Amino acid sequence: MRWTVALMAASLLSAQDLDRWPTGRWQARSMVISKFGVVAASQPLAARAGVQILESGGNAIDAAIAANATLGVVEPMGSGIGGDLFAIVYEAKTGKVTGLNASGWSPKGLTIERLRAKGFSSMPESGIESVTVPGVVAGWDELRKRFGRLSFKQTLAPAIYYAENGFPVSEIIAADWALSRNRLREQAETRRVYLANGEPPAVGQLFRNPDLARSLRHIAARGRDGFYRGPVADSILKLSERLGGSMDASDLVEYRPEWVTPITTSYRGWTISELPPNGQGIAVLEMLNILERFPMREYGHNTARSLHVLIEAKKLAYADLMRYIGDPRGTQLPVESLISKSFASQRAKLIRENEAACAALPSELTTFAGRPGGDTIYLSVADREGNMVSLIQSNYLDFGSALVAEATGFVLQNRGGLFTLEPGHPNAAGPRRRPLHTIIPGFLSNGSRRISFGIMGGWNQGQAHAQFVMNVVDHKMNVQQALEAARMTKRTFEGCDVSIESRVPESVRRELAGKGHQIELLGPYSKPVGGGQAIERNFESGVNLGGSDPRKDGAAMPEAPGWK
C-alpha cells in the first residue's frame, strides 16, 4: 500500500514536472508533499502555528483559524481582528464545498446624505467613516462551531504567544511596514502600537504587541462576545464617538456572517468555485468563460497572443463587475447572466485580435471608480483526512484605516472606502450594507483532484485567479509552478496600461506594445501581481501537495505523523 501511494504521487509529478526537466526546471521551489496535513501561509510562523494545531488533534478548520490569528500578529498591515474574512471549506466526508462571507457591514447610521453633509463628494478611504464592522472574529466563530474540533483557547494560543513574547519581523513584511511609516505616525495610539521611536521595525527586529495579546485573550475566553461585547467593543465605540463616527453597540452585537453557496463555472473539464457577491469572484468566472472561447494552450504560456486575450478579457469582466455588483441583500444582481456561457460568448466577440481596447467595455456601465490598492493575507490548509480550507482575510489598504482603538492592539479596516456615493448603484453606501469586496478565496476540482488556492492584492486578485487556473488547466503546471509563473496585472479599469513582470520575454512585451498595450515593467517577482498559496489534495493517492509564492515571506509546511 505504501508503494502504491508513492507510485501514484510519482506518476502525478511525472506528468507535470519531469517532462520539463530536459529544458530546465520551471520552478525555484519544490512542492511540499505529504500524506499528512499541509499548511501554506504568507509567513512561516503562521504556517507553523497551523501545523502545530494539526499535530495537537485539530483539523483543517482549526489550523486555518490558528494560522489566521497568528498572521494578524506577524503581518499586521494585511490582516488582523479589525478586518474581514471569506472562506471556502471542503468537507471530505460529504464532498461538499461551502462558503462563508464574514465581511462586515456599515453602521446603521451611515447614509449618503450624512456623508455629503460632512463635505464628502466621494467615499473617503481613510478616517472613521471608512470603518465597517470587523467580520473576522465572527467568521472564526462560525467556522469553529460548524466544522472545528478545538476551542479558541487552543487555536489562539500561538498568536497570543507571539503577541506577548514578540517575534522577529521577516523581510517582505518589514518592507511593507516601512512603506506605511507616515500613515502610522498620524494617530497617537497607532504610533504607540506599531512604531518604536517613530520608526517601523527592521528585518529581524523583535516586535511585541501586548495589547493585541489581551484582546485575543478576551476572544479565547468568551468567543465572539469577547470582541463584539465587553472591553474591546467599548474601546472601538469610544474611538468612533471621539472621531464623529456613527457606529453604535448594536452594529457590533447584531452583526452575523453569512453561509453561502459558492458560484461555479466549468473551464475545460475543471470546476472553479468562487464566492458570490459582494466579492469580485464573479469576475474570475466571467473571465474564464471568455478565455474558454480561445485556444489558450495552443497560444502558449505568456505569449503575446495569450496575454493580449487575457488583458482584454479582464477589461470586459471588470467593467461588468464595477457596474452590477454590490451587496446582494435587498438588491437584484444579475449573477447568473454574468457567469453564463452564452453571455461570455458575446463578450468574447468584442476582443480584437491585434488591437487593445483602451476604453472599458461597456464604457457606459462603468460608473464606479475602483481603487488599485489593497493588502491582504491568504492561507490554505489541507488535513490528513482531506478536509480543506481556502481562507482570505484583509484590512483592505496597508494597516486599513490606520486607526487603533485604545488598548486593543489592532487597526480597524477601511473597507467602507469601496462604497460609491451614487444613489441607486448596487454598491452605494447605506445603513448596514456590505461594500464591494476585493478579497476572494478560490477552489478547483477535477476528478480526484481538489485545489485550494488564493492570490492576494486588491483588484489584482480576480485576474491572478484566472492566471493560476490557466496555468494549472491549460499549461499543466503543478501548484508551485502555477504560483511562481510570471504574471500580469491591470491595476486600473480604463485605458491601455498593463503591468507585466520582467520574466515575460522582452520580445513578447514588444509585440504587446505593437497591439497598443502600454507596458509598465515590474520586477521579476513583484508585489502588484500579488502573492499566493495553494494546496492540492489528490484523493486517489491520499497525498497533499503544497505551494507557496516566493513573492511573500511564506511557506508551505507539512504536519509530522505523530510517532512515539
Catalytic residue set: 376
d(CA 163, CA 159): 6
Residue type, 514: G
DSSP 201: P
Nearby residues of 435 by Cβ (< 8 Å), 6 or more positions away: 103, 106, 132, 278, 326, 327, 415, 416, 417, 418, 419, 427, 429
- What does 96-126 look like in DSSP terms, one character per residue? EEEEEEEPPPPPTT--HHHHHHTT-SS--SS
Do 198 and 185 form a contact (C-beta atoms < 8 A)?
yes
C-alpha dihedral (372, 428, 391, 213), degrees to nearest 10: 90
d(CA 110, CA 116): 11
d(CA 395, CA 422): 24
- Give the helix ranges, DSSP H, for 195-254: 210-222, 225-228, 230-242, 249-253
Phi first, then psi, for residue 333 (nearest 5°) are -110, 140
Strand 555-558 and strand 497-501: the pairing is unpaired
Which of helix, strand or coil describes residue 283? helix
Phi first, then psi, for residue 423 (nearest 5°) are -60, 140
Do 420 and 368 form a contact (C-beta atoms < 8 A)?
yes
Residue among 27, 401, 380 nearest 194 (CA): 401
- Give the helix ranges, DSSP H, for 425-476: 460-473
Task: Give long-range contacts, CB 8 A cutoff, 24+ apart: 300-308.
Answer: 301/471, 301/474, 301/475, 301/485, 302/485, 302/486, 302/504, 302/505, 302/508, 303/508, 304/508, 304/511, 304/512, 304/515, 307/488, 307/500, 307/504, 307/508, 307/512, 308/353, 308/356, 308/512, 308/515, 308/517
Classify burial at 195, counting beta carbons within 10 Å of its beta carbon; exposed 0-12, middle 13-18, buried 19 or more.
middle
- Give CA 125 to chain center in angstroms: 19
Phi first, then psi, for residue 563 (nearest 5°) are -70, 160
What are residue 260's DSSP bridge partners?
A: 99
DSSP 40: E
What are residue 538's DSSP bridge partners?
A: 449, 543
Phi first, then psi, for residue 274 (nearest 5°) are -130, 165
